[in-house]
């Protein structure tokens, strides 16, 4: 693929049922936190699906050694050889989708979804849906969010504040730090569906995000535990999270 600092590869994969699917695939060797980055992608995708957000279908991709050896691109082949043989991927979509730009407007039709994504990114501490790197594909009023490898990295941040604490989303107050902030700022937003979606997450659902992590990513165990705890704590403090979200959108 031509975009993305992790240099993902477009791979035609075969599912267990024999069906072929094109998957935009990230290898651990191309990610800053290796398997932990891939785990953040899996947890982010599972959580987004349960919150009914517009996420692309996720996949775990097994990189067969014979396939890797056949890759003609030297750089991609070397990266795959240096990576965990289980990678993360998202279904490749076509059909006139393009990257979100500053020229895109948040219509009334997509206002609830845009607000839900803004809340999602704030709560999971995702800094990577910003001007210049939107990680959002759009076609008319239809959009899809991608790339969550930098989320749930709160354990690496000095003096971190939780998203349910005043100032926990201070970073999102800066213009351009989130692609939807300008379009949401000052708007009348009904946060009750967002509150209900987060409050409705069960312990079993959240635990299942952890069991979705393949055992081959054992190096990510601590990061996974921290991510699941953040989700549970945010669920239990969702009213305070929404208060902080409203503050940065005033």
Q: What is the pLDDT of residue 5?
A: 67
pLDDT category, 173, cuts 50, 70, 90? Answer: very high
pLDDT at 2: 66
Name the β-bridge partners of 87.
Answer: 61
pLDDT in tens, 127-169: 999 999 999 999 999 999 999 999 999 988 889 999 999 999 9
Give residue 204's pLDDT.
Answer: 98
Beta bridge partners of 59: 89
Q: Are 76 and 24 in contact (CB under 8 A)?
A: no
Q: Is the pLDDT of residue 176 over 70?
A: yes
Tell me: pLDDT of 174 over 80: yes
> Residue 250's closest CA among 194, 188, 190?
188
Residue 11 tokens, joined: 């791979």
Could you report the per-residue pLDDT of 63-122, keeping only the tens digit for each? 999 999 999 999 889 999 999 999 999 999 988 899 999 889 999 999 999 999 999 999
pTM, to two decimals: 0.95
- Which pair of structure tokens corresponds to residue 163? 């998203």
pLDDT in tens, 25-46: 999 999 999 999 999 999 999 9
- The domain locations on the chain are 9-91, 98-248
In SS3 terms, 154-200 reads as: HHHCCCCCCCCCCCCCHHHHCCCCCCCHHHHCCCCCCCHHHHHHHHC
Q: What is the pLDDT of residue 4?
A: 62
**Structure token pair of residue 143:** 């959009």
How far apart, in whole angstroms, are the C-alpha atoms of residue 56 and residue 91? 6
What DSSP character marks residue 133?
A: B
**Cα 89 to Cα 38, 108, 182, 185, distances in angstroms:** 9, 31, 30, 33
What are the pLDDT digits (tens) for 182-227?
Answer: 999 999 999 999 999 999 999 999 999 999 999 999 999 999 999 9
pLDDT, residue 6, reads 75
Angle at 89 between CA 87 and CA 90, to 5 degrees: 170
Model confidence at 234, pLDDT cuts 50, 70, 90, reads very high
Query: Tell me, what DSSP letter sits at residue 130?
Result: B
Q: What is the pLDDT of residue 232?
A: 98
Assess contact for 44 and 151: CB atoms under 8 A.
yes
- Tokens representing residue 132 in the block: 């210049």
């Amino acid at each position: 693929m031509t975009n993305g600092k992790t240099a993902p590869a477009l791979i035609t994969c075969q599912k267990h049922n024999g069906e072929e699917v094109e998957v935009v695939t990230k290898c651990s060797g191309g990610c800053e936190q290796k398997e932990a980055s891939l785990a953040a992608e899996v947890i982010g995708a599972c959580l987004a699906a349960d919150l009914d957000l517009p996420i692309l279908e996720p996949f775990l991709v097994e990189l067969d050694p014979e396939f890797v050896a056949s890759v003609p691109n030297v750089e991609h082949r070397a990266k795959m050889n240096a990576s965990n043989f289980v990678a993360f991927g998202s279904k490749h979509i076509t059909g006139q989708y393009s990257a979100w730009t500053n020229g895109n407007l948040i219509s009334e039709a997509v206002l609830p979804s845009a607000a839900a994504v803004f809340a999602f990114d704030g709560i999971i501490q995702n800094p990577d849906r910003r001007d210049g790197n939107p990680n959002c594909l759009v076609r008319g009023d239809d959009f899809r969010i991608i790339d969550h490898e930098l989320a749930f990295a709160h354990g690496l941040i000095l003096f971190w504040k939780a998203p349910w604490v005043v100032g926990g989303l201070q970073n999102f107050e800066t213009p351009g730090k989130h692609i939807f902030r300008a379009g949401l700022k000052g708007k009348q937003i009904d946060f009750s569906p967002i509150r209900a979606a987060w409050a409705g997450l069960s312990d079993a659902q959240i635990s299942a995000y952890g069991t979705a992590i393949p055992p081959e990513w054992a190096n990510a165990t601590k990061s996974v535990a921290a991510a699941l705890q953040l989700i549970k704590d945010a669920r239990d403090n969702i009213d305070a999270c929404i208060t902080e979200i409203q503050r940065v959108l005033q």
